[in-house]
Structure 1
């Protein structure tokens, strides 16, 4: 798993490990990651590095990508690297990419990231995640991928309930019109999708 030391990634690692999966956590600085379960293998890895993907992919059933930080090109570069490597593998793992909620469709009919009041400080990351989604959709022939978008606004650390609902390109909203999900239940949705795939070569979203 790439991005295993981050807010989303670390929770996905814990969720998968506690369900009995063998987890390899790929991070840029393994010495700084001391908060994952003791049974998790922590290695140096970079989702934009062909060598890293080539080293980790052969032993994996799924490659989870939950990276953050960096510049706008990070997410597309990671998607391009992973697709390029896996396309040439005879028995490639599937990819589960934790993407951006701003790529979901707003009530106006456009993407949240294109709304006039979308926060400027999040725009580069949103555009980067949008580019990654576009790449999967247009260039991932021969690769099985899933792109998971969290809610566009109300997505925070919280409680693991184990319950959520899913949608595709529009946010899942509750009776008050809010789209909400905890990082912990995002992790549940990721591991559920790995164990019981429903969104092959597609994007989905989750919320309460």
Structure 2
């Protein structure tokens, strides 16, 4: 089994990724800003102080990792680009760098007109800065990540909530995966399944994928 470092492990997505990976036997390190506040992660998970916006933190944890998962949230637009910059800068200098799996936003997915959802006139203003930050990170991986293997994961742009782990999902790349009614829906639990599946059997190296039912 692999060594998986999860930044943002105390969050809604990160905690589920930690649980899924640990449940499958991976050695998981949960990197959080305040370890003392994270008490609900599975037994056996190593909890450490970590901040993906700190190049020093990345440099400390990267050498022992097979995969680094970025599942951080909140903050200003610069958060996600800084995270991507730190990872690319630090990892490209390692002799055997870990793979990066970056949990990004669904707003960067494309509409039927091949324009990002975040550019729609009715896109909520309160989500625009985080969405732009995630778009910045995706652009950086695509343009500047030579020597680093990365995967950017986008959940559905709207109907993405905590729920049931079914273990099933379908994948796509640039456009949301929709059902017969045109809906794109996924639980956080099944996003975690899709991510750990990708860790174990890579299919989307150096590209973005999305998942839904």
State the TM-score, normalized to the length of structure 1. 0.99
| 1:70 alignment counterpart | 75
**Structure 2 counterparts to residues 1-80 of structure 1, below 5 A:** 1-80=6-85
Residue 115 (structure 2) pairs with residue 110 (structure 1):
yes
Deviation at 1:107, TM superposition (A): 1.9
1:23 partner SS? strand
Shift of 1:3: 0.4
* Aligned twin of 1:157: 162
Q: Give secondary structure in 1 for the equivalent of 2:126.
A: helix
Instruction: Specify which of 188, 198, 201 is matched with residue 196 of structure 1.
Output: 201
Residue segments in structure 1 that go unaligned for 5+ positions in a row: none
Q: Distance in 2 between matches of 1:196 and 1:60?
A: 17
Q: Matches of 1:54 and 1:118 in 2, distance apart?
A: 37
Of 100-109 and 12-21, the range deviating more from structure 2: 100-109
User: Scaled by the length of structure 2, what TM-score is found?
Assistant: 0.97
* Residue in structure 1 matched with residue 187 of structure 2 by the alignment: 182
- Distance in 1, matches of 2:193 and 2:114, equals 29
Q: 131, 139, 142: which is aligned to 2:144?
A: 139
Distance apart, 1:89 and its partner CA: 0.5
Q: What CA RMSD, in Å, does the superposition of the two structures yield over aligned residues?
A: 0.5
**Partner Cα distance (1:48, 1:106) in 2:** 30
Match in the other structure for 2:3: none
For structure 2, which runs of at least 5 residues remain unmatched after alignment? 1-5
Work out the CA distance in 2 between the residues paired with 1:162 and 1:52: 33
Segments ≥4 residues shifted beyond 4 Å: none
- How many residue pairs are counted as aligned between the two chains? 208
Superposed CA offset, 1:112-169 (max 9, x none): 0000000001000000000000000000000000000000000000000000000000
Report the counterpart of residue 166 of structure 1 in structure 2: 171
